A = this chain, B = another copy of it.
């Protein structure tokens, strides 16, 4: 990945990484992005689902979405994905921290106009969020495709930040009688809730049951 001043991790550089492998692994572990753009100097940060294929991220939404209509003009954009892994509880207030994996990616987006490419990008998003779903569902009608905007965000540069492990305290604080450690947190899937109008006898698909926690 390219790294200019924009993407360089400046605080605690040892937590920064710029290799595609690390960046893609984080992007593939998440499914929710926060997308930023500026409109007359006003920043907007909007949450959205995404998919990834190589250095391209795919975003979608209503054709009337303010975010997508702004992004498709090719303005500079920033896409952030953050996975929280734990609260780091140190003996001092100062050394409290968070274990996490995050990516901040910079680039610009373009609208995908061609219906078959649009469909393929929607498939990438769907499979990214819940692999196995796309082939089972009723695909998009032409009018549904028309009502949907799909954007391809090409990552120009990106940085990853990762913190793992226990708290790091001041040497003299280790003697304090304060419980310290990590409280791991994880986005976990619960039991699927079938729709009330579901066709009789349908079982919960395996890909829903094995939806991996993130």
Contacts and interface: CB of A to CB of B under 8 A. Distances in A.
16 contacts: A10-B66, A36-B36, A36-B45, A41-B76, A43-B44, A43-B76, A45-B78, A90-B137, A91-B137, A136-B179, A137-B178, A176-B199, A179-B203, A179-B204, A181-B192, A186-B190
B183 A79 contact: no
Interface in A98-148: 98, 100, 102, 104, 106, 122, 126, 129-130, 133-134, 136-141, 144, 147-148
Given A138-B176, A173-B138, A205-B179, A98 B49 contact: yes
A62 interface: yes
A31 to B, nearest CB: 8
Contacts of A188: 185-188
Interface stretch (A17-25, A51-59, A81-89): A81-89
